[in-house]
């Protein structure tokens, strides 16, 4: 079987299933827009009954009317933004934020390594010292950005190699040189790990390899072409990998949209006196990524316990937190649409595995038949 034919077949299967996925996700968002107001009102009433025990603790009627109008306006604006098109725009914004964060972190690590290099060289001579704990990275050298290969024109016949004729030469090697080599190895290993992490975090199936050019205008044109191609493929993905990325982008954007809505409603709850703690969006993001454990609470409500200043001082935070999974728990139609989407995602994951296999087969055939064989012929 030819790999290219298999890849074309997988792409045709992706084109066939994409319209059904689009319809299912549009239906899912419609059910979500219909249920979010009802679920939010239920969650707010549950929050009030859980935190207030007397009618005198409730806001005045005039404040209640203003509060309800504010909540209604927030939910109406949210409903207008929960569409596939708006979520795709938001996903592009999230991706740009992630790219900027990766670049900032990489630059911060480089600057940290450069600033610590002088201090490391001073401490390198101390052999007997206790373990030091700190926030700095356990590296003792700058990042080595050179490729890990020996140039073809390099020669191993230098005088330094000719003089190595006995074991006595190795016995005379200074121990500090070994320490320096270990430092370089650590830096190289970290460099490779950083590169792999960057590829995993900044995965973009629509992005094509663009050759670097010295002309800045050509570089800007390439970036513009990539942006146009990204927007086109994100709206109409074709391959199974692109469709799966399309779904994940919508999921992340929907989570961000509901997080923003929860934050705005919590601010109004704080203004009217129904909650007494300001909840930043970074705290909600930490809950989304499971960095902070949560306590049992009703649906679309968040209860967490955090230490303040000292471990003995514990504060309980109880606020509104709307998530797709919580909405699905309350609404049968949402759960039904989610089950259908999960079946499509399972199918796409299977197609992506096949696509990855046949791409590797295609690359192997190309290397075996063209690239490697041509090198052998030239040598003969």
Q: What is the DSSP string of 97-116?
A: HHHHHHHHHHHHHHHHHHHH
319 and 51 Cβ atoms separated by less than 8 Å: no
Q: Would residue 197 count as lying in a domain?
A: no
Q: What is the rounded distance in angstroms from the CA atom of residue 100 to the CA atom of residue 158?
A: 45
Contacts of 165 (CB under 8 A, 6+ apart): none
Kindly provide the b/e burial profile for residues 252-291, where b requires at least 16 CB atoms within 10 angstroms of the residue's own CB. Answer: bbbbbbbbbbbbbbbebbeebebbeeebeeebbeebbeee
Alpha helices in the chain (DSSP H): 3-51, 61-81, 84-123, 159-162, 167-171, 175-201, 216-235, 240-272, 281-288, 324-330, 332-366, 372-379
Q: What is the rounded distance in angstroms from the CA atom of residue 380 to the CA atom of residue 369?
A: 16
Q: Would residue 110 count as lying in a domain?
A: no
242 and 205 Cβ atoms separated by less than 8 Å: yes
Backbone angles phi, psi at 118, to 5 degrees: -65, -45
- Domains contained in the chain, number: 1
Q: Would residue 121 count as lying in a domain?
A: no
Q: What is the rounded distance in angstroms from the CA atom of residue 333 to the CA atom of residue 220?
A: 46
User: Based on the number of CB atoms within 10 Å of its own CB, is 45 exposed (0-12), middle (13-18) or buried (19 or more)?
Assistant: exposed
Q: Would residue 50 count as lying in a domain?
A: yes
Q: Would residue 345 count as lying in a domain?
A: yes
Low-confidence ranges of the chain (pLDDT < 50): 126-129, 131, 133, 135-176, 178, 180, 201-202, 208-216, 219-220, 226
Q: Would residue 178 count as lying in a domain?
A: no
Predicted structure pTM score: 0.68
324 and 254 Cβ atoms separated by less than 8 Å: yes
Write out the residue range of the structural domain in which residue 343 sits. Answer: 3-91+236-369
Q: Which of 251, 220, 225 minimizes the C-alpha distance to 348?
A: 251
- Nearest-10 Cα torsion for 12, 15, 20, 25: 140
The DSSP call for residue 56 is: G
Backbone angles phi, psi at 365, to 5 degrees: -65, -40
The DSSP call for residue 306 is: E
pLDDT value, residue 350:
92
* Helix 84-123, helix 175-201: angle, nearest 10: 170
List, in sequence order, every residue forming a beta bridge with 317; answer none if it has no partner.
304
25 and 373 Cβ atoms separated by less than 8 Å: no
pLDDT value, residue 235:
65
Q: Would residue 266 count as lying in a domain?
A: yes
pLDDT value, residue 60:
72
* Helix 216-235, helix 240-272: angle, nearest 10: 90
Contacts of 253 (CB under 8 A, 6+ apart): 87, 88, 90, 91, 94
Q: Would residue 150 count as lying in a domain?
A: no
The mean of the pLDDT values for the chain is 75
The two three-digit tokens of residue 158, written as one number: 């230098």
């Amino acid at each position: 079987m030819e790999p290219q034919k298999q890849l074309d077949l997988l792409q045709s299967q992706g084109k066939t299933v994409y319209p059904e996925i689009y319809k299912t996700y549009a239906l899912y968002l419609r059910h979500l827009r219909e249920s979010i107001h009802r679920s939010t009102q239920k969650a707010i009433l549950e929050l009030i009954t859980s935190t207030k025990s007397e009618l005198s603790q409730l806001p005045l009627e005039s404040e209640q009317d203003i509060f309800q109008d504010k909540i209604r306006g927030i939910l109406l604006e949210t409903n207008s933004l929960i569409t596939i098109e708006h979520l795709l725009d938001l996903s592009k914004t999230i991706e740009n934020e992630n790219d900027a964060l990766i670049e900032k972190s990489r630059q911060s690590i480089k600057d940290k390594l450069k600033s610590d290099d002088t201090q490391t060289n001073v401490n390198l001579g101390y052999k007997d010292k206790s373990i030091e704990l700190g926030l700095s990275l356990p590296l003792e050298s700058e990042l080595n950005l050179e490729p890990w290969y020996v140039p073809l024109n390099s020669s191993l016949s230098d005088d330094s190699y000719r003089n190595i004729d006995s074991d006595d030469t190795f016995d005379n090697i200074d121990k500090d040189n070994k320490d320096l080599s270990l430092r370089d190895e650590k830096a190289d290993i970290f460099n490779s790990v950083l590169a792999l992490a960057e590829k995993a975090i900044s995965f973009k199936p629509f992005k094509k390899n663009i050759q670097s050019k010295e002309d800045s205008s050509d570089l800007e044109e390439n970036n513009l072409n990539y942006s146009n191609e990204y927007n086109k493929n994100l709206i109409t993905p074709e391959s199974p990998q692109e469709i799966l990325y399309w779904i994940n982008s919508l999921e992340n954007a929907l989570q961000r949209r509901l997080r923003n809505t929860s934050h705005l409603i919590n601010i109004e709850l704080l203004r009217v006196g129904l909650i007494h703690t300001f909840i930043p969006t970074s705290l909600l993001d930490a809950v989304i990524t499971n960095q902070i454990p949560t306590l049992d609470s009703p649906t679309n409500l968040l209860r967490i316990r955090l230490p303040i200043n000292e471990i003995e001082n514990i504060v309980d935070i109880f606020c509104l937190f709307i998530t797709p999974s919580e909405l699905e728990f309350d609404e049968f139609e949402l759960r039904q649409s989610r089950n259908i989407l999960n079946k499509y995602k399972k199918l796409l994951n299977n197609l992506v595995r096949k696509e990855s296999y046949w791409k590797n087969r295609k690359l192997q055939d190309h290397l075996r038949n063209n690239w490697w064989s041509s090198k052998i012929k030239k040598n003969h």
